[in-house]
Structures are given as C-alpha cells and as structure tokens.
Structure 1
Amino acid sequence: MPFANMLLEDPAIPAIERQQALDRIFADPGIPQNTTTSSFWLKDPHASFATRSSKPLPAEADVVIIGSGITGASIARTLLENGIKSNSSREVPSVIMVEARDICSGATGRNGGHILETADEYSELADEHGEEVAKKTLRFRLAHLNEMLNVCEDLGLTEHVQARKVQFLSAFFGEEAWKDALERLSRFKAGMPEEAAEWIAYDRKSMPEDFKLSRAHGVIAGPAGALWPYKFVTSLLAHLLSKHPGQFRVEDQTAVTSISETPSSTYKYRVETSRGVTSARHVIHCTNAHVTHLVPGLRGRIFPLRGQMSAQTPGSNFPCQAAKHSWMFSYDRGFDYLTQLPSGQMMFGGGFARSEGGGIADLGVATDNEMSLYCDIHLSGALPVVFGRQNWGEIDGDPVQAMWTGNMAFSADGFPWVGQLPSSVTERPGSTSAETGSEWVSAAFGGEGMVQAWLCGKALATMLLKRDNRLSPAVDGDISWLPAQMLVTEDRISKSVLSRTVPSSQRASL
C-alpha cells in the first residue's frame, strides 16, 4: 500500500488529524520560502553560484526548467548533450533553469546522499502489479547506482563529490520484522536472481563483528552508493554552463509566480517570475513537493511530506566506514538511514514515525523552516544505542553538528509522475501538436529520489527531444526501460488520487 494511504487509513490516528493532513495535501504548497533550516550539505556554496543572479532574464527560451535539483540537472544535461540543430540553427535547445532560492537548496541539497535500493518493495509490487512490473521497476531503480557513479567518473567529479560504492547494511531490530525481511529477500532472489546476486542475509550468529550491530536480529547486505548531493548537482551545472555558453543559463532567487499561454506559435508560454518575464516553448516542472502550486490539477495526486536529517560526530570507538558501508535501521515502526563521509561525519536521517502523530503531522507540509521536536530527540540519541555504547565510545561536546528539514514528494499510487502534462491538470488550454510547446513534469519520488530522479529526468528530456524531432541520431532514444506506471496519462489522472475526506464511518471524532 502506498505510504500516505497507510497513514491516512490508520485507525490508531485520530480522524481529525488525518483530515487535517488531507486538507494540507489538497492545499496550495506555495513557493519555497527563504526562511529555512540550515543543511550541512550547503555549508560551502559552489563558486559559480555563490553570488545571486543579477543579469536580466532572457526574454525567451526553448525550455524553462523550474527547479535546480538532481531532476533538473539530469534534464538539462540530456537536452544540452543529446539535442540536434533546431530551425533557428542553434546547436541545442536554449535552456534556462530557474530556482526560487539558492541553487540546489531544495530536496536534493537536503537529502541523505544515499544511493540505495533495498529491494524490499519487490514483493509488494509483484502482488499488486505483477511480476513483470516489479522486475522492471526494480531494474530501473537499481540502474541508478552505476548510472550516477559513471556520470561522476565521466566528468572527473568522483573525488570532489565523494562518490563511492559501498555495501548497505539493512538492520532489523524486531524478530517479526526480521522474518518478514527474509521472506521478502527470498522472493526477490527467486524473481531476480541475477540482480540479487550481491544480496546476503546475516542472522545474529553469522553477523560479522565489524558490523557493530550485535543488537539487531539480522542484517541484509547489498550494493549501494553515496555522494555529496549538492556538490554533484552544482558541479554538473557548472560543467554545462562552461560547455554550452549562450545555450544554458541558471538563475537563482527567481521564483516562478505564474504561467500563462500566449497566441505565439513559437513561444507558447509566458513565465512570470520574481525577476521578470521569460517566454518559453516548453516548461518543465521539477519542483517535487511544490509542483502543485503551478500544476493545481495534481493536488491529491502529488503531495509534500517533511523529513529530517542531521550531521553528527561519531563516537571515539567507531571506525570510519565511509568507503565500506552505509546503513538502514528498521524498527517495529519506521526506519532511519545513515551514511558516513570520508571525513568521518555521520549523515543520519529519518525518525519520521517518531514525529508528532506517528508522522501524520508532517504529511502535506511543504515548508522546511521548522523541525520536529520528537525527530530531533530520536535522531540525536539513536546512534549510540543502535551500534552499542561500547562500540560507539565518547564524544566531546555536542555530537550533532547540524539538524535540518527538507520536503519530499509522494504520490497517491506510489510511483513518480513523468511526462507531458494535459490541460486537465495544468488548467491551461495546452496542446499536443508537435508544432507548439508543452508543459512537462518529473516529480514525486517518494523519498527515494536518489534511485529514481536521475533516470526519470533523462527519460523526460528524451521524450521532449523526440517529440520535437531534435534527438541526435547518435543517441539511443529508447526509453522502454521507464516503467509505464510512471507515465502521465489521463487514465492515471482520473484514478490515482486520494479521497478528499476521511470516510464518514471514521469521522465521529471530527
């Protein structure tokens, strides 16, 4: 069952709290505000983006990308690298990326930097959608590890962004949870033996001592990766700016306030921003938790959820495992995730189920300027307990270097939304003619953007280039690897939406 549905249908949560969450979900999430919590990842701004944009906005562009996270970076790279000459004799589409705040200060600049697919969802996907959909979805997610590490290698960014392949250790602290995990692993190995070859299960007796997880009932290990997400995106954008001068612009502190259509057959959209107006042929929405501000018809289909992250100092007895391991901790309710930087810092996030109302209070929240007290308490104290105080050791001073929040976007059916937007959701006339432009979306990664966003963006940009007959002949335009369940369709729009109200049978407490 999709994550939000579980919370919204949980009878243990008062109906009034569930209704309040639904009211937030169907409300306008607004524009990202500059008042926010301070992410550790953003402490050293990239030189190319350390000062705010000051030049006037270009009057027109082939493509305006709204959002400067990993999705927008993937789309920009694909458009600029894979396009062919247009009718105006430009070598590639002219692309402008606009960001309401500082570059990469949204979800990508606030996540855990964890390239992780545990394959836990294989069984659920197979039961609900069939084995083939489950296999295709898992292959899509698993492909991100090598894809992103290869991008770093190709651009010479591996060391700078601290990109590395590691072994994830998914630890389970309850007997029933461990049994369920073994059943899910068994199904994954049976259904996808080649992909599952690196997955290993360790019970308490067989668990290596250097895992330092003796309190866990068991651990499932498999391939994963980690990197510094802000450095990855900003370094990639800087590379594109250098390689495609005049064809690519990145504009920070440029919030899009409205989109309207014009009579022009060339530049169909009037994009109004806090710094002026740009006319565009295509508009691509990569604003994830804020996407329904400009695409109101997706409310109830895509919705925000606030999460919490921290940067912490490890205990004196804990060895640096940055190049070796990353972690997931599953409890009787909820989970946490952890990576370690080569410098030693522990990047620890989660605690969602420990927040107000068991998480319901963060559902539908699109701001990142406040933190959950209960998440703070949990994240601040969990690591010595999970690893064991003897294994952890002492810390001089406050172990928490930084604590911040960020916004994820979830969908009612549990899949990202990727593709061309019809007028039924933009609430603008729209057009499907190849002679005019369109609006597009790539969003709602369900808190797993590092194993979904990059290839969703690549697929969307390829769709756009193919639609405009501008995909380079040297480029393989096959995107059959993208699961069909992620595509924008009218049928999905009509079916994949949450109920606006809590069922009347459960509303006695409202």
Structure 2
Amino acid sequence: MPFINEILMDPLLPASARQQAIDRMYSDPGVPQSATTSSFWLQTPRTFEPKSPTLPTEIDVVIIGSGITGASVARSLLGNANPPSILMLEARGICSGATGRNGGHILEIGDDYAELADSFGMEDAKRILRFRLAHLNEMLAVAEELGISEESQARKVQFLSIYFSEEQWQAALKRLRQFKEEMPEEAAEWTSFEGEGIPKDFHLDRANGIIAGPAGALWPYKFVTSVLAHLLKEYPENIRIEEHTPVKAIHNSASPDRPYKVETDRGTVLAKHVIHCTNAHVGHLVPGLRGRIFPVRGQMSAQIPGDQFPNQANDHSWIFNHDRGFDYLTQLPSGQMMLGGGFAQGELAGAADLGIATDSKLSMLIAIHLSGALPVFFEDWGEVTGRPVQAMWTGNMAFTSDGFPWVGRLPDSATGRSGHGNGGEWISAAFGGEGMVQSWLCGRALATMLLAEDGVLDQSDADLGWFPKQLIASKERLDSTALPRVVDSSHRASL
C-alpha cells in the first residue's frame, strides 16, 4: 500500500494528524450528501423519466450506484440470453458521484509494471497490465457500438507523462525499459523524449523528459448516462433506475428466494442479489470493509487556456509528475483544460483528505496550486480573458489498503448478512483514482461471476482467466488487509 504508507508513515507529519486520518478511514462514510460542489461535467444534466411513485416489492438484482461501474454491471447482466430484473438505486442524481467528477482520462501508462512484477511475479503483472490496458479499446468500442462517440467525446489520444526532475526521469526510463522488454507487444506504441529531442509543439520546454503512449479521453457523465439511456430503451421490462433514493439499510428477509431486504425512504425491496457499486461509500452498508476500503477526497478544475495555446483535445492528455504527487489534464474539443490533482499540495501533505467522504468543500491549498499550474507547465501560454478558472469541484475516490479494487461476492463476515445459498451480496468498487482503466471490466467480471453462480452461463462464457486474482473479494483478503489501527508516537503504525 505505497500511497497510504507514504502519508501514514511520514515522520514529518504529527502523529496526531495521521491518527485522525486513520480514525476517519475506519469511520462510517455515510450516504452521499445533497450538498456538493458543482462539477463542470454535470452542468447540463440528462433528463431521465421521473422516479416512479412506488418501488417494486421484489426484484432479482439491486444495483446500488449509477456511475460507470453500475452501468457496466447492468449492461453485462442484461446482455445475456436470460436477463434478470434490475433495480438501480442512486442516492443523488444519476452519475453524480465519482464518475461525474473525475478527470475524463482512460489512461494506463505502464509505470506500475516493474513494481507489480517484483511483488507478484511476471505473469501476474502482465495479467494486471493487460486488464488495465484493455479498457481503452473496450470503452471506445462501446461508444462506437452505441453511436455515442460524438456525444460523449470519446476519443483516442497520446498521453504525455512529463518529468521535471532528473532523478525521477531516470527512474521512469528504467521502468519503461522493463515494461517494453517484458511486454513488447502491449508497449509497442510507448516511446520517450528527452532534452532537445522533446518536440517544440508539445510546448513543454521545462520538461526534463517525457514518456508517451496511447490513451483516451471522454466526457464521463455523458458516456455513462448514454449507456444507461440505451439500456432503458432496449430493456424496458428488465431495468428501472431510481435516483434520489438512498439505501438506508440492508437486512436478511424471511423469503428463501429473495434473502435480502433493501430499505429506502420510499419503501422496502426484496432482492435475490445486492451489488454494491458505491465506491467511497461502500463502508456504510458493508461495515466489515471499513479500514480496507476508504474514501479519499480529490479536486478537479475546468480552466480556459491561454490564447497562444493550441487546442490539443484530439492529440494529447497529460500527467505532470512532481517530487510528491502528480497532476492530470485533458483538453475538451471546446477548449477547456480539465486539470485535477494537487493532492500532495493539500493540507497536511494530503493527510487531511484521507477518509473524507463528502464533496461539498474545496481545499484552499489545492485550489491555489491548480489555479496557477498551467501557465507554469506550458511555454507560450499567452493571456486569458476574464477568469481563467471556470469551475472547481471535489469528488470522492475510494482507495484500498492493499492497492487493488474489490470485485466479487462479499463474505458474510463483511456484511453481517447471508444469502442462505440462494443469492448474495456483491461488490465492484475502490479503484484508487484509476477507475477509467479498471471499473468497466470489473463490472463485466462481477456480472459474469453472478450469472455463473445462478447457472445461466456455460463454462466457456464464465471463464475469468483474464481477470487478475488480486482484485477478487474473499474472506482471506478481508482478514489480512486491515489498515494499521493506531499510529504511535514513534511514527510507527501498529495493528
């Protein structure tokens, strides 16, 4: 868990601040609150049918959450020959959580390969990277298939991962060489630029070196809501989506066929399966995952480029690597620069944002960093007429103690409930800020697991040999991945 260790074990931070962060990470994240910052992505919300006067009393599958993960799960479940009945419940507006607040990147730079190979061996590392890399073509293909590429602005670009420090640059080059040597087919489009070899039209004269490769960008809210609209049209008898309907509690029922009782302010629904796609909020309804999955607040902005900066929306996306942390950037065809990050520049070097499950406030220090970063990153930026920052907002990511998402059937010890052999509670959540290269195929894998358990898939269709085992939910993983509960005064974490 390098991201967590870097903060929780930082001797420069007071032990009390790190202990407060751990306490938040073990606390109940609650349901998404109505008070939020205003995401640029959500400025023109899609109109769906008004919510029904009443909820169904029984359903095959309840999906909690309407972001990209929930959309993927629903699409995969409905795409088989015997689709179940689905009720999707969203606490706020549809796709108003992390998916409607992220950076719009479909980006895997391959930088983790070397560390993964050291930790899990070459074959597992390759499987994890292939899984992540597959999302680019997969999501672009979905957009093409549904005819939503233009609407969702789904497009392939070249990522530029920029390094300003010589030490960091040399380390990145070493990682790149290993990635290209051991995964030559997958890394064929990766290349590097250094010093005088950096193209002038990148406008990155301050860079020490740049790694480039294939990536994607899109308007995430429009992508997900378009997918959901398509499902509602194609499967009107099989799926209902109810927004502004938070789930208050889940209990076991007396029904042998519908073992779960899902309680909302609008009524109670009996379900065979319950799927948790609530990401940062999953610990509210699954208390056993607290301290294993936890919220982390991130910050995004939409900014006007300088008048000398050419529109590169169809050409590039960017990662700016710092001594601590990084920033990430895409540009829209309409010109706006969608810049996020600044986490390490926040209060207490990021510790103040650990365990925060609300998106109603901005970090002043991160806002200062993001507001001034672009003219520094790019040469020949030019002038901006009016206010350069059009919008700034926060969102809640979900990280895990072991660095991997949780996907699959939840053990009873995590929920305190049981499907009694005829149903189950499932999870696809916690993507560590990299949901666009993990969540879509995690949703497909989870749907495959569920359909296989219900006996509606044959062995070949149920094959998950492509799916990384490190992501699978299990009791063993639950028992072995709890965060340290206490930080003592000697700056060591202890269980």
- Range into which the TM-score falls when normalised by the shorter chain: over 0.9
1:274 Cα deviation from its structure 2 partner? 2.2
Task: Write the letter of the residue equivalent to 1:241.
Answer: L
Task: Write the letter of the residue equivalent to 2:14.
Answer: P
Q: How far apart, in 2, do the equivalents of 1:83 and 1:348 lie?
A: 42
Alignment check: 8 A CA contact 2:10 2:491 kept: no
1:83 Cα deviation from its structure 2 partner? 4.2
Q: How far apart, in 2, do the equivalents of 1:143 and 1:356 lie?
A: 36
- Residue aligned with 1:366, SS: coil
Task: Write the letter of the residue equivalent to 2:361.
Answer: E
Task: Write the letter of the residue equivalent to 1:445.
Answer: F
- Summarize deviations over 1:105-157 as a string: whole Å, max 9, x none: 00000000100001111111111111111111000000000000000000001
Task: Write the letter of the residue equivalent to 2:308.
Answer: N
Q: How far apart, in 1, do the equivalents of 2:11 and 2:149 lie?
A: 47
Task: Write the letter of the residue equivalent to 1:409.
Answer: A
Q: How far apart, in 2, do the equivalents of 1:154 and 1:441 lie?
A: 27
Pairs within 5 Å for 1:45-444? 45-48=45-48, 52-84=50-82, 92-388=83-379, 391-431=380-420, 433=421, 436-444=422-430
Alignment check: 8 A CA contact 1:16 1:507 kept: no
Alignment check: 8 A CA contact 2:28 2:287 kept: yes
- Residue aligned with 1:395, SS: coil
Task: Write the letter of the residue equivalent to 1:226.
Answer: A
- Summarize deviations over 1:384-431 as a string: whole Å, max 9, x none: 00002xx11000111101000000000100010000011110012443
Distance 1:474 1:43, change over 3 A: farther
1:437 Cα deviation from its structure 2 partner? 0.8
Alignment check: 8 A CA contact 1:83 1:465 kept: no
> Residue in 2 aligned with 1:479?
464
- Residue aligned with 2:96, SS: coil
1:2 Cα deviation from its structure 2 partner? 3.0
Q: How far apart, in 2, do the equivalents of 1:98 and 1:377 lie?
A: 36
Task: Write the letter of the residue equivalent to 2:428.
Answer: S
Alignment check: 8 A CA contact 1:420 1:488 kept: yes
Q: How far apart, in 1, do the equivalents of 2:418 and 2:76 lie?
A: 28
Matched residues, percent identical? 64
1:3 Cα deviation from its structure 2 partner? 1.1
Distance 1:60 1:140, change over 3 A: same
Q: How far apart, in 1, do the equivalents of 2:266 and 2:330 lie?
A: 38
Q: RMSD of the TM alignment (CA)?
A: 1.4
Alignment check: 8 A CA contact 1:352 1:359 kept: yes
Q: How far apart, in 2, do the equivalents of 1:139 and 1:246 lie?
A: 36
Q: TM-score, structure 2 length as denominator?
A: 0.98
Task: Write the letter of the residue equivalent to 1:452.
Answer: Q
- Residue aligned with 1:505, SS: coil
Distance 1:502 1:474, change over 3 A: closer
Q: How far apart, in 1, do the equivalents of 2:265 and 2:105 lie?
A: 33
5+ residue gaps in structure 2?
A: none
Distance 1:430 1:437, change over 3 A: closer
> Residue in 1 aligned with 2:447?
461
> Residue in 2 aligned with 1:18?
18
Task: Write the letter of the residue equivalent to 1:299.
Answer: R
1:327 Cα deviation from its structure 2 partner? 0.4
Q: How far apart, in 1, do the equivalents of 2:484 and 2:176 lie?
A: 33
> Residue in 1 aligned with 2:491?
506
- Residue aligned with 2:151, SS: coil
Q: How far apart, in 2, do the equivalents of 1:33 and 1:354 lie?
A: 26
> Residue in 2 aligned with 1:488?
473
> Residue in 1 aligned with 2:6?
6
- Summarize deviations over 1:158-197 as a string: whole Å, max 9, x none: 1110000000000001111111110110111111111111
Q: How many residues get paired?
A: 493
1:254 Cα deviation from its structure 2 partner? 0.3
Alignment check: 8 A CA contact 2:9 2:491 kept: no
1:342 Cα deviation from its structure 2 partner? 0.6
Q: TM-score, structure 1 length as denominator?
A: 0.95
- Summarize deviations over 1:33-55 as a string: whole Å, max 9, x none: 01000000001111226xx5242
Task: Write the letter of the residue equivalent to 2:484.
Answer: S
- Residue aligned with 2:228, SS: helix
- Residue aligned with 1:159, SS: helix
1:504 Cα deviation from its structure 2 partner? 5.3
> Residue in 2 aligned with 1:89?
none
Alignment check: 8 A CA contact 2:15 2:489 kept: no
Q: How far apart, in 2, do the equivalents of 1:159 and 1:336 lie?
A: 26
1:475 Cα deviation from its structure 2 partner? 7.8
1:263 Cα deviation from its structure 2 partner? 1.7
Task: Write the letter of the residue equivalent to 1:82.
Answer: N
Q: How far apart, in 2, do the equivalents of 1:250 and 1:475 lie?
A: 31
5+ residue gaps in structure 1?
A: 85-91
